[in-house]
């Protein structure tokens, strides 16, 4: 109680509910489990671990091989996490670098802008395929974590929406599409 957590600290405490982890383990867990929609840098992780250790929210274990130190959540950390997770989440902020480039696209030669768009279209199509594969692997059994399913389903819907947006871009952006071209670029 009394500890106001930021989202980075809150997510780290969430991971530490599973088991003690080193900073390296936490970075890897974040990249794997939330990396597509929430970014954490290595320096943020270590900075937050130090702050949380000072505040008594985590406890550092003995240094192991290669000077790695596992951290475990304390009872005080569990209380702080419970307070944090109960709070209404802030509204999302769109940070889509391609949109920024398109906003100022009149300053680019059309083939350059079209190349940027084409590369991003591939990234989103590949991401959709990866999400769909992960979703199939999760399955629909009683053991399936509904929170993981909901998160993955959002990723699938988001990537489909982005790919639909690519299809609807005006042809004068150099994308080569036409306004009536509504072919689905992704598997259902």
* Euclidean distance between CA atoms 162 and 109, whole angstroms: 23
Average confidence (pLDDT) over 98-114: 94
- What's the order of all strands across the beta sheet hosting 70-73? 21-22, 70-73, 58-60
Distances from the Cα of 44 to the Cα of 9, 16, 70, angstroms: 9, 16, 16
Q: Which fold has domain 7-86?
A: Arc Repressor Mutant, subunit A (1.10.10)
pTM value is 0.74
DSSP 71: E
Q: What token pair was written down for 159? A: 């990537």
- What are the extents of the domains in the chain? 7-86, 97-173
Render pLDDT for 129-164 as a digit per residue (tens, 0 to 9). Answer: 999 999 998 888 888 889 989 999 999 999 999 999
Average confidence (pLDDT) over 122-127: 96
Q: What token pair was written down for 81? A: 């996490």
Render pLDDT for 37-76 as a digit per residue (tens, 0 to 9). Answer: 888 889 999 999 999 999 999 999 888 677 688 999 999 9
* Euclidean distance between CA atoms 21 and 60, whole angstroms: 10
SS3 of 22, please? strand
């Amino acid at each position: 109680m009394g500890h106001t957590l930021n989202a980075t600290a809150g997510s780290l405490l969430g991971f530490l509910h599973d088991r003690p982890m080193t900073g390296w383990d936490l970075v890897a867990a974040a990249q794997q489990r939330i990396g597509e929609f929430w970014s954490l840098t290595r320096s943020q992780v270590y900075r937050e671990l130090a702050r949380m250790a000072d505040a008594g929210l985590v406890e550092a274990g003995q240094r192991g091989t290669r000077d790695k130190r596992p951290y475990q959540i304390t009872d005080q950390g569990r209380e702080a996490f419970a307070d944090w997770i109960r709070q209404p989440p802030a509204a999302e902020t769109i940070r889509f670098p391609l949109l920024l480039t398109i906003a100022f696209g009149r300053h680019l030669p059309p083939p350059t802008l079209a190349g940027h768009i084409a590369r991003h279209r591939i990234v989103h199509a590949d991401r959709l395929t990866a999400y769909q594969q992960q979703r199939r692997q999760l399955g629909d059994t009683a053991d399936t974590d509904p929170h993981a399913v909901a998160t993955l389903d959002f990723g699938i819907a988001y990537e489909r929406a982005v790919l639909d947006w690519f299809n609807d871009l005006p042809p004068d952006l150099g994308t080569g599409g036409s306004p009536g071209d509504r072919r689905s670029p992704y598997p259902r």
